[in-house]
């Protein structure tokens, strides 16, 4: 941000913001901090579709879809390493997997090696959130535990990183229920 823009922004916040404006600024700051924590100081979260188009145009790729996916994945990994060198290889892999899902990869969503169907994943999210917020009936929790053992841990491990982040934000109150449901619906569709 240019120095003049920063001065103007601070002036607006300190001298002209009302309660509603302050809430919007606070929400924007929280979102930006979360983006920086996840993606480093990149100006914006890369769009996998845009990455594919850019890479295809630069390299004139005419190969298979799988080849293109691998090229985009490699390209995304290079960008992440350049922009956020402090991330571990595991964090980079999770980010890449959330940006460029690989539908054919077994075990992507499930520790047992089978992808979890979308409707089942949605049900798992609902149960996990209900449990975490204390809304789950005791009988349902007991039934799940007798069937699966420590089901909250198993569910958490099965959730992709994006879903984990959304659940965490919702439970901490950083997003409201409507926003959570909208974002979760999108995340579940993109798996």
Among 82, 105, 128, where does a domain finish?
105
Same domain? 122 vs 185: yes
Burial class (CB in 10 A: 0-12, 13-18, 19+), 63: exposed
Same domain? 33 vs 67: no
**Owning domain of residue 27:** 1-39
Q: What is the pLDDT of residue 152?
A: 92
Q: What is the pLDDT of residue 169?
A: 92
In which element (H, E) is residue 82 found?
helix 65-83
Q: What is the pLDDT of residue 41?
A: 56
Task: Give the distance, in angstroms, between the CA of residue 191 and the centroid of all CA atoms in the same chain.
Answer: 11
Same domain? 73 vs 5: no
Same domain? 21 vs 65: no
Q: What is the pLDDT of residue 62?
A: 45
Query: CA 90, 92, 98: angle at the middle one, nearest 5?
Result: 105
Among 61, 77, 105, where does a domain finish?
105
- Count how many domains the chain has: 3
Tell me, yes or no, if the pTM score tops 0.85: no
Among 73, 105, 137, where does a domain finish?
105
Q: Helix %, strand %, coil % for the chain, to 5?
A: 70, 0, 30
Same domain? 96 vs 126: no
Same domain? 31 vs 48: no
C-alpha–C-alpha distance, residues 100 and 96, integer Å: 6
Give me the residue label for tokens 């960008």: 79
DSSP count for the chain of H helices, then E strands:
10, 0
Contacts of residue 145, defined as CB under 8 A and 6 or more positions apart, other chains included, come to 151
Same domain? 22 vs 55: no
Digitized pLDDT (tens) for each residue of the chain, 191 residues in all: 568 888 888 888 888 989 888 888 888 888 777 766 655 555 555 555 555 555 455 544 445 555 556 767 777 788 788 887 888 888 888 777 777 665 444 444 444 444 677 778 888 998 999 999 999 888 888 888 888 889 999 999 888 888 999 999 999 999 998 988 888 888 887 76
C-alpha–C-alpha distance, residues 186 and 191, integer Å: 9
- Reading the block at residue 77, the tokens are 């990994």
Long-range contacts, 31-38 (Cβ 8 Å, 24+):
34/169, 34/174, 38/95, 38/165
């Amino acid at each position: 941000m240019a120095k003049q823009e920063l001065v103007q922004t601070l002036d607006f916040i300190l001298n002209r913001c009302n309660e509603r404006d302050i809430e919007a600024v606070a929400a924007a700051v929280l979102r930006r901090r979360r983006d920086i924590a996840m993606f480093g100081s990149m100006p914006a979260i890369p769009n996998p579709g845009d990455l594919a188009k850019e890479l295809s145009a630069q390299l004139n790729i005419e190969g298979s879809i799988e080849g293109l996916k691998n090229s985009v994945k490699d390209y995304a990994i290079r960008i992440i390493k350049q922009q956020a060198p402090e991330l571990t290889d595991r964090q980079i892999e999770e980010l890449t997997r959330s940006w460029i899902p690989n539908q054919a990869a077994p075990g992507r969503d499930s520790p047992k090696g089978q992808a979890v169907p979308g409707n089942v994943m949605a049900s798992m999210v609902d149960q996990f959130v209900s449990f975490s917020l204390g809304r789950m009936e005791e009988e349902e929790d007991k039934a799940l535990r007798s069937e699966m053992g420590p089901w909250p841990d198993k569910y958490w491990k099965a959730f992709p990183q994006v879903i984990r982040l959304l659940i965490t934000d919702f439970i901490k109150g950083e997003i409201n229920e409507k926003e959570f449901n909208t974002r979760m619906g999108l995340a579940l569709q993109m798996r």
